[in-house]
Amino acid sequence: MKANVIFHSVCGNTYIMAKMIHEKLNGHGIDSSLFRVQDENIDKIAGMFEVAREHLDEIKAVPVASAKDALDCDYIFMGCPTYFGNVSGQMKLYMDSLCDFWVDAKLYGTKLISFTTCGTPEGGGDFCLGAINTFAHHMGMIPMPVPSNLIPGKSLPAYGLMHYTGDMSDLRPCEDAEKAISAIVEMVAGGRI
């Protein structure tokens, strides 16, 4: 089984989630690769926000995803920050780079699990996850929903994994995010999704 984790992150929260996913996949013996999307402005943004500098070097050390990195895998975990209820512009550019695969349905049947970070529960994260899943449908991929009982006693969106970062993006993914990631990866490893 092969899984690629493709993310965009500026302040580091989505990167932390992507790294957790990647490490948990590898821990279950799943061949996993970690990629970031191209971001020409990452240094500029990091200069404006102290929190963005914490993981800047780590993020920049991750290989940049090419369109071909979406091929030849069974699963794609795709995530980015929520910007105004949508995917980041950088993730949208990456999604658009896959348009040639649409014609020949090269991604047909690939399972996709979406994840995002957003400031607050009212920050439009569901819309961002929905945009990633809509993209997956159009590409012939199969978006995987998050079951309502993934973490007992916790309410999670059905559309994907989400972490709330706070207004200044300084609330890092915590134990609940790690539990959700562990549970979804266990479902993948067990062939349940």
Length of the chain in residues, anyone? Answer: 193
Residue 146 CA from chain centroid, whole number: 13
> What confidence score (pLDDT) does residue 45 get?
87
Whether residue 85 has pLDDT greater than 90: yes
Q: How far is CA 150 from the centre of its chain?
A: 17
Mean pLDDT is lowest, of 13-17, 92-96, 154-158, 176-180, for 154-158
Q: What is the pLDDT of residue 73?
A: 96
pLDDT of residue 173: 85
Ordered DSSP codes for 76-114: EEEEEE-BTTB--HHHHHHHHHTHHHHHTTTTTT-EEEE
- Domain span at 153: 2-189
CATH code, 10 = 3.40.50.360
**Is the per-residue pLDDT at 61 higher than 90?**
yes
Exposed, middle or buried: residue 170 (CB in 10 Å: 0-12, 13-18, 19+)? middle
What's the confidence (pLDDT) of residue 148? Answer: 87
pLDDT surpassing 80 at residue 179: yes
Residue 66 makes CB contacts below 8 A (sequence gap 6+) with none
Mean pLDDT (the chain, rounded): 94
Cα–Cα nearest to 65, from 31, 109, 27, 96: 96
**What pLDDT sits at residue 166?**
78
Residues paired with residue 32 on neighbouring β-strands, in sequence order: 3
- Mean pLDDT across 132-141: 98
Please check the confidence at residue 182 and state whether its pLDDT lies above 80.
Answer: yes
Residue 70 has pLDDT above 90, yes or no: yes
How many independent structural domains does the chain possess? 1
How many whole angstroms from its chain centre is CA 191? Answer: 20
